[in-house]
Amino acid sequence: MHALGIDIGGTGIKAAPVDLAAGTLLAERKRIDTPHPAVPDAVADVIHQLTTAFDWSGPIGITFPGVVAGGETRTAANLDSSWIGTNARALLGKAAGGPVEILNDADAAGIAEMAFGAGKGVTGTVLMLTFGTGIGSALFTDGKLVSNTEFGHIQIHGDDAEKRVSDQARELHDLSWGKWAGRVQNYLEYMEALLSPDLIIIGGGVSKKADKFLPLLEGIRAEIVPAALRNDAGIVGAAMATTPAYAAK
**Residue ranges in contact with ligand BGC by CB under 6 A:** 65-67, 75, 77-78, 104-106, 130, 132, 134, 136, 150, 152, 162
Closest approach, Cβ 193 to ligand BGC, in A, equals 21
Q: How far is the CB of 101 from ligand BGC (least distance, A)?
A: 16
d(CA 11, CA 9): 5
Q: Which lies closer to ligand BGC via its Cβ, residue 52 or residue 81? A: 81
> Rounded to the nearest whole angstrom, what is the least distance from the CB of residue 8 to ligand BGC in the complex?
9
For ligand BGC, the closer CB: 66 or 71: 66
CB of 31 to ligand BGC, least distance (A): 16
Of 130 and 242, which CB lies nearer to ligand BGC in the complex structure? 130
Which residue number, 56 or 114, has a Cβ lying nearer to ligand BGC?
114
- Mode of pairing for the β-strands spanning 125-131 and 199-203: parallel
Rounded to a whole number of angstroms, the minimum distance from the CB of residue 220 to ligand BGC is: 21
Q: How many CA atoms lie within 13 A of 95 on its CB side?
A: 24
Tell which residue, 156, 154, 136, 153, has the closest CA to residue 145.
Answer: 136
3-state secondary structure of 144: strand
Of 200, 189, 86, 180, nearest to 137 (Cα)? 200
Is the Cβ of residue 101 or residue 105 nearer to ligand BGC in the bound state?
A: 105
Angle at 122 between CA 186 and CA 223, to 5 degrees: 30
